Chain A
């Protein structure tokens, strides 16, 4: 994880909130609480809110470390480590929905304890496997009853707006969160939603009227005395209303080419079973603690890596496939698989302030093992990426690699080459093996019995 130019300074993603910041020391991720935030922090503990949220799995638990200096540092916390940091624009619909409901649940419990969430950024939610959790322990403020929710606008921009677009317009609009790093502006959400969204009272109020109110009062200020009328019942009513708005948004995860992929592959049941057996054997030989399953589809092979004990990030470019994978993980209470929507031909780059607020996919690695099963022919043919560039990407992504080569004789590849004949001459097994041999050492290889496809277990050269 990268830090700012001062190695003991805050993480490059942790600078907005004056209450404290996150930093890395001796490989441990720590959170500093500033003295100015002491009263709020003490209230979080003394009100019982911290215990209630941690026990419910809604807030990341931490332990306090002894202080080394007595400057403006009030506390140093060591939160439980999140295995892999992911971003809202990489989440499937159901993940963003789960993160939204977690945020609202935290807010409701905070109000019960006389506190309030002072921000509602989707980046404050992370996943431990399938389970969302709030990671920002300093998100709480003491609630002055009568005051509306300061984070209401942020909640609507980070959660409700993108969810409404994905549900009511097109699931691919989730990618807008990658462009608008502080959430999708509500006037844009309102413009992109179909007219029928105005017939849903919750979207009419929290998106359409909200956008109009923002436009009308763009530069105004609110008289502080006038803010006293927002009672506790109104606050709880607001949270419940938002909860119902989020709950009402759904996504069916149907109709893409990939989501039915396993039903349409060239594998016989026996060959598929053989592939699973080989992948399992290769994973066990690699003994990874972390796996990136690239082109994971609905996660058939991610499960094998997880069962072998590896925390597995399962990337796929198809939002419907990732949606199904996540829902399956949630049903199984999967603790070690994180499905993410990632287009490998255009993976998330370094973004935000100074190009370093949000990390690229590769900056969050390398993984101990990369799995690229049924992927290379899509990258090489559909995306026209030459083998040596595919190999280089895999080498940067992981220390070891399980990769599958699908030969020209395979009917799927043959059909692709018929559409893109110019790519034919460079798509050979020899060219594949040659390109990978410059960057990887082949540990083992095996033909998948009952198919024409071949699996390789490789070790990146010059990497321990």
Chain B
């Protein structure tokens, strides 16, 4: 297994790293909850497959 950090030529910033780790639990929980609701919603609502309007 290579050490991918070798290719991190952009300084990630210690503060930026630590902030992400501090937020990890909240971000994961938020993601999990949204996925869960999306699944519940998916049982009742037909997907319309609309593309992202801001990027088209």
Give chain A's interface residues, CB within 8 Å of chain B. Answer: 16-19, 37, 39-40, 94, 97-98, 101-102, 105, 116, 118-119, 121, 131-132, 141-144, 147-154, 156, 205, 209-210, 212-222, 226-227, 229-231, 233-234, 236-238, 240-241, 247, 330, 333
Partner of B4, one of A119, A142, A212, A240: A142
Chain A nearest CB, measured from B41 CB (Å): 16
Interface pair B24/A230, CB less than 8 Å apart: yes
Q: List 10 A-B contacts (CB under 8 A).
A: A97-B54, A101-B52, A102-B55, A119-B9, A143-B4, A153-B10, A218-B15, A227-B21, A236-B31, A237-B31
Known: A148-B20, A226-B21, A233-B32. A132 touches B55 (CB 8 A): yes
Partner of A241, one of B5, B16, B25, B30: B30
Interface pair A214/B52, CB less than 8 Å apart: no
Give chain B's interface residues, CB within 8 Å of chain A. Answer: 1-5, 7-32, 34, 52, 54-56
**Complex CA–CA separation, A210 to B28 (angstroms):** 18
Q: Enumerate chain B residues within 8 angstroms of A116, measured Cβ to Cβ.
A: 4
Q: Enumerate chain A residues within 8 angstroms of B26, measured Cβ to Cβ.
A: 237
Known: A154-B10, A221-B14. A229 touches B56 (CB 8 A): no
Partner of B12, one of A150, A216, A330: A150
**Complex CA–CA separation, A327 to B8 (angstroms):** 35
Interface pair B19/A118, CB less than 8 Å apart: no
Chain B nearest CB, measured from A157 CB (Å): 9
Interface pair A39/B2, CB less than 8 Å apart: yes
Q: Enumerate chain B residues within 8 angstroms of A236, measured Cβ to Cβ.
A: 31
**Complex CA–CA separation, A149 to B18 (angstroms):** 11
Q: Enumerate chain A residues within 8 angstroms of B31, measured Cβ to Cβ.
A: 233-234, 236-237, 240
Partner of A98, one of B25, B32, B55: B55
Task: Please classify the interface of chain A as helix (H, G, I), strand (E, B), loop, or mixed, using the class held by over half of its residues.
Answer: helix
Interface pair A105/B55, CB less than 8 Å apart: yes
Besides A40-B4, A230-B24, A234-B24, 16 new A-B residue pairs in contact (Cβ under 8 A), listed by A number:
A18-B9, A37-B7, A94-B54, A118-B9, A142-B2, A152-B12, A152-B20, A153-B10, A153-B12, A153-B16, A214-B14, A226-B21, A229-B24, A233-B31, A237-B29, A241-B27
Partner of B14, one of A17, A151, A154, A220: A220
Q: Enumerate chain A residues within 8 angstroms of B23, measured Cβ to Cβ.
A: 205, 234, 238
Chain A nearest CB, measured from B9 CB (Å): 6
Interface pair A238/B20, CB less than 8 Å apart: yes
Interface pair B27/A214, CB less than 8 Å apart: no
**Complex CA–CA separation, A131 to B22 (angstroms):** 35
Interface pair A231/B55, CB less than 8 Å apart: no
Least CB separation from A142: chain B residue: B4
Chain B nearest CB, measured from A294 CB (Å): 27
Interface pair A234/B7, CB less than 8 Å apart: no
Q: Enumerate chain B residues within 8 angstroms of A153, measured Cβ to Cβ.
A: 10-13, 15-16
Interface pair B30/A237, CB less than 8 Å apart: yes
Least CB separation from B6: chain A residue: A36
**Complex CA–CA separation, A66 to B19 (angstroms):** 45
Partner of B28, one of A151, A219, A234: A234
Least CB separation from B22: chain A residue: A213
Q: Enumerate chain A residues within 8 angstroms of B24, measured Cβ to Cβ.
A: 148, 229-231, 234
Interface pair A217/B27, CB less than 8 Å apart: no
Known: A16-B9, A152-B20. A222 touches B14 (CB 8 A): yes
**Complex CA–CA separation, A142 to B14 (angstroms):** 21
Chain A nearest CB, measured from B25 CB (Å): 7
Least CB separation from B8: chain A residue: A150
Interface pair A118/B7, CB less than 8 Å apart: yes
Q: Enumerate chain B residues within 8 angstroms of A102, measured Cβ to Cβ.
A: 55
**Complex CA–CA separation, A121 to B11 (angstroms):** 12
Q: Enumerate chain B residues within 8 angstroms of A241, measured Cβ to Cβ.
A: 27, 30
Q: Enumerate chain B residues within 8 angstroms of A216, measured Cβ to Cβ.
A: 15
**Complex CA–CA separation, A220 to B14 (angstroms):** 6
Partner of A141, one of B8, B34, B54: B8
Q: Enumerate chain B residues within 8 angstroms of A131, measured Cβ to Cβ.
A: 56
Least CB separation from A333: chain B residue: B56
**Complex CA–CA separation, A111 to B10 (angstroms):** 18
Q: Enumerate chain A residues within 8 angstroms of B5, measured Cβ to Cβ.
A: 144, 147, 150
Known: A98-B54, A210-B16, A238-B27. A148 touches B2 (CB 8 A): no
**Complex CA–CA separation, A461 to B25 (angstroms):** 66
Partner of B20, one of A94, A98, A230: A230
Interface pair A209/B19, CB less than 8 Å apart: yes
Interface pair A148/B8, CB less than 8 Å apart: no
**Complex CA–CA separation, A459 to B7 (angstroms):** 50
Lowest 4 A-B CB distances belong to which pairs?
A237-B27, A237-B31, A214-B15, A213-B15
